[in-house]
Amino acid sequence: MTHDTSDSADIPVTHGVLYIVSTPIGNLEDISLRALKVLSSVDIIAAEDTRKTGILLNHYNIHKPLVSYYSYNEERRIPELIEKLKSGNSIAVVSDAGTPGVSDPAFRLIKAAIDEDIPVAATPGPTAFLPALISSGLPIQPFLFEGFLPVKKGRQTKLQELAKEQRTVILYESPFRLLRTLQDIQTHFGNRKICIARELTKKFEEIITTSLSQAIKHYSAKSIKGEFVIIISTERM
């Protein structure tokens, strides 16, 4: 099989474009050649975590001006970045990890650019929920990606709603709330088949597909560290 490259090879990085660049979720090798090209060519990189992005850029010997763009300064930063794009600068937005906009603050900048008719281009790449889903052995389609559950207000209502879902449900969770979230899921869903994917692409990667009650037992018995994706099947145990 051959790949027709005539309509895709060597598209130059263009002035005045907001590039949405996916970066690794752990393993620094999980980055596309095009993402590296864009990061090496843009005028500015807007990063959720400049320290973490600095490590990635150093690894690939990329030296570009970095500005911070995260939930606490986005209100102020968005108009500044939009002005720079309008005056012809090319900007890459990168998040802490994975695909910008997927459960992180890049969405508002992307929307602001589109509202101002600024061209937007994405370099596709890593995101945590997709490798978790395809490694889980749980039905892949259809799925619902919910991201983080509300921490307080609306949490119980959201769980009641999700318990009625006929699709595989995907959640993100931090180590601090994992156990509580698993217990809340059990209250609303009953004992479902689930997958917990921890530290994907990293040294301590762990992907467990089991019953919810077993998962609660497993995580009650140890200190919980790392980053987690929870996948809930419609299958009851």
Q: Minimum distance from CB of 128 to ligand SAM (Å)?
A: 3
Q: Does 24 bind ligand SAM (CB under 6 A)?
A: no
Contact 125, 23 (CB under 8 A): yes
Q: Applying CB under 6 A, which of residues 182, 228, 231, 233 lies at the interface with ligand SAM?
A: 228
Binding test (CB under 6 A) with ligand SAM, winner from 69, 172, 189, 219: 172
Alpha-carbon dihedral 110, 176, 138, 100, rounded to 10 degrees: 10
Which of the stretches 68-76, 98-106, 156-164, 217-225 binds ligand SAM when contact is defined by CB under 6 A? Answer: 98-106
Show the binding pattern over residues 122-161: x = contacts ligand SAM (CB under 6 A), - = does not: -----xxx--------------------------------
Q: Are 205 and 164 in contact (CB under 8 A)?
A: no
Return the residue of 97, 182, 185, 232 that touches ligand SAM, per CB under 6 A: 97
CB count within 10 Å of CB 125 equals 18
Least separation, in Å, of the C-beta of 125 and ligand SAM? 9
39 scored as a contact of ligand SAM (CB under 6 A)? no
CA distance 44 to 77: 13
Would you say 30 or 84 has its CB closer to ligand SAM?
Answer: 30
Is 74 a binder of ligand SAM (CB under 6 A)? no
Q: Which amino acid is at 15?
A: H
CB of 223 to ligand SAM, least distance (A): 17
Q: Interface with ligand SAM includes 174 (CB under 6 A)?
A: yes
* Residue among 177, 215, 174 at smallest CA distance from 193: 215
User: Which residue minimizes CB distance to ligand SAM?
Assistant: 98
The CA-atom distances, in angstroms, between 88 and each of 18, 47, 80, 123, 187 are: 10, 19, 13, 20, 53
Helices then strands, each counted (H, E), the chain? 8, 10
Altogether, the residues listed in the chain come to a count of 237
**Both tokens of residue 51?**
């320290």
Q: Where on the chain is the footprint of ligand SAM (CB under 6 A)? A: 25-26, 95, 97-99, 102-104, 127-129, 172-174, 197-202, 227-229
